[in-house]
C-alpha cells in the first residue's frame, strides 16, 4: 500500500508539473501573441505615417517645383519684354530714308495693280521692317531684320534695300569684267576670278578730277539669309513656300554684272512693276487668300515689335 500511495503521489506530482508547464507555455504564447498584435499594429501605423510623410514631401517638392518654374517663367518673360523694348527702340532708328522710299514704291505698284484690276487689295500684302528670331547652328537664338516682305498669290518676296551715293558695279568679278580686273586685283588680290564683288565709284569731294573707289561686302548675303530664316519660320505652318529674294538699289547708276539668277536686282520702280506683272501673268497661283492672311498673321505674331 505504501508503494501504491507513493506511486500515486509521484503521478499526481508529475501531472501537476505538466499542468503547470502547460499553463506557463500557454501564458507565454498569449503574451507573444499579444506582443505580435502590438507589433503588427505598430508596423501598420509606421506604414501609414511613412505614406503620409512621403505624400507631404511629394507635395512640398511639387510646390517648390511650381514656384521655381514660375520664377524662371517670370524671369524669361521679363527678359523678353526688355528685349522687345530694345528692338522697338532699334526699329525706330533703323528705318532709313531709302527704306521709306522703297515702301512708297511698293505701295504705288500695289495701287497701280489694283486700279488695273490685276489684283484685289488683299492679294498683295506689304510688311516693312520686320524683326523676328531664328535659331542659329549652335542652338542660340538670334534676330534677323527684313526690310520688306511682299505676300502675293504667286509667292513670297523678300526685298532688301541698299543705298549708295555713287555709281555701282554689282556682281563684278575678275572673270566677267576683264576691263576692270586691275581694280579687283588691287582691292581683292586673294579672291578667285569667279568671286563676285560690289564696288562703288564716289566723288566725295565734288572734284571732277577725283574719284573714290569703295568696295562692299556682298549685298545679297542679307537678303539670302532672310530667305533661309523666313522659310524656317513658315515651313512649320505652310506646306509650300516660294520665297523670292530681291535687291533694290538707290544709287546714281547701277550696272549689274552678276551671273547669278538670284537675287533679282532692280534700281527703278518701272522695272520692279514689270517684274511683278510677269510674276502674275506667267506663274500659277501657289497661295490662296486664306494662306496669305495666315502667313501675315504668323509673321506679325512672331515679329519682335
Q: What DSSP designation does 66 have?
A: H
Which stretches does DSSP call E strand in the chain? 124-135, 141-152, 155-163, 167-172, 197-202, 212-216, 243-250, 253-256, 264-266
pLDDT for the residue 244: 95
269: how many CB neighbours lie within 10 A of its CB? 17
- Collapsed DSSP state (helix, strand, coil) of residue 258: coil
Q: What DSSP designation does 153 have?
A: T
**Rounded Cα distance, 260 and 245, in Å:** 12
End-to-end CA distance of the chain: 126
Half-sphere exposure of 222 (CA within 13 A, CB side): 16
List of residues 6+ apart from 180 with CB closer than 8 A: 169, 172
Per the CB < 8 A criterion, the answer to whether 177 and 195 are in contact is no
Per-residue confidence in pLDDT tens, the chain, 305 aa = 555 455 555 556 666 766 666 667 666 666 666 655 555 565 566 557 656 766 776 777 777 777 777 777 777 666 666 656 555 555 554 567 888 899 999 999 999 999 999 999 999 999 998 887 767 777 777 778 899 999 999 999 999 999 888 889 898 887 777 776 777 777 777 777 778 888 888 877 776 677 788 877 788 888 998 898 888 888 877 776 689 999 999 988 998 988 888 999 999 999 999 999 999 998 888 888 898 999 999 888 876 55
pLDDT for the residue 30: 67
The sheet with strand 124-135 has its strands ordered as 124-135, 141-152, 155-163, 243-250, 264-266
Domain ranges of the chain: 1-94, 97-302
**Measured between alpha carbons, how far is residue 288 from residues 107, 238, 295 in Å?**
21, 11, 11
Amino acid at each position: 500500500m505504501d508503494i501504491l500511495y507513493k506511486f500515486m503521489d509521484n503521478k499526481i506530482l508529475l501531472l501537476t508539473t505538466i499542468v503547470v508547464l502547460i499553463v506557463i507555455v500557454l501564458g507565454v504564447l498569449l503574451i507573444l501573441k499579444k506582443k505580435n498584435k502590438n507589433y503588427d499594429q505598430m508596423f501598420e501605423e509606421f506604414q501609414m505615417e511613412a505614406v503620409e510623410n512621403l505624400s507631404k514631401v511629394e507635395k512640398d517638392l511639387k510646390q517648390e517645383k511650381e514656384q521655381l518654374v514660375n520664377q524662371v517663367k517670370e524671369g524669361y518673360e521679363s527678359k523678353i519684354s526688355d528685349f522687345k523694348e530694345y528692338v522697338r527702340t532699334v526699329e525706330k532708328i533703323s528705318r532709313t530714308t531709302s527704306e521709306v522710299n522703297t515702301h512708297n514704291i511698293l505701295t504705288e505698284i500695289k495701287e497701280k495693280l489694283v486700279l488695273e484690276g490685276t489684283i484685289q487689295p488683299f492679294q498683295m500684302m506689304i510688311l516693312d521692317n520686320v524683326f523676328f528670331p531664328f535659331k542659329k547652328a549652335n542652338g542660340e537664338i538670334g534676330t534677323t531684320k527684313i526690310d520688306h516682305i511682299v505676300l502675293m498669290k504667286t509667292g513670297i518676296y523678300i526685298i532688301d534695300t541698299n543705298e549708295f551715293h555713287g555709281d555701282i558695279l554689282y556682281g563684278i568679278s575678275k572673270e566677267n569684267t576683264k576691263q576692270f580686273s586691275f581694280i579687283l586685283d588691287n582691292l581683292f588680290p586673294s579672291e578667285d576670278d569667279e568671286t563676285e564683288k560690289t564696288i562703288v565709284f564716289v566723288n566725295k569731294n565734288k572734284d571732277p578730277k577725283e574719284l573714290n573707289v569703295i568696295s562692299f561686302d556682298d549685298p545679297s548675303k542679307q537678303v539670302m539669309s532672310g530667305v533661309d530664316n523666313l522659310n524656317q519660320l513658315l515651313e512649320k505652318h505652310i506646306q509650300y513656300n516660294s520665297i523670292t529674294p530681291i535687291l533694290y538699289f538707290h544709287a546714281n547708276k547701277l550696272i549689274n554684272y552678276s551671273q547669278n539668277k538670284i537675287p533679282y536686282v532692280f534700281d527703278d520702280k518701272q522695272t520692279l512693276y514689270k517684274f511683278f506683272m510677269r510674276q502674275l501673268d506667267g506663274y500659277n497661283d501657289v497661295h490662296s487668300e486664306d494662306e496669305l492672311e495666315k502667313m501675315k498673321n504668323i509673321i506679325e505674331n512672331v515679329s519682335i515689335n
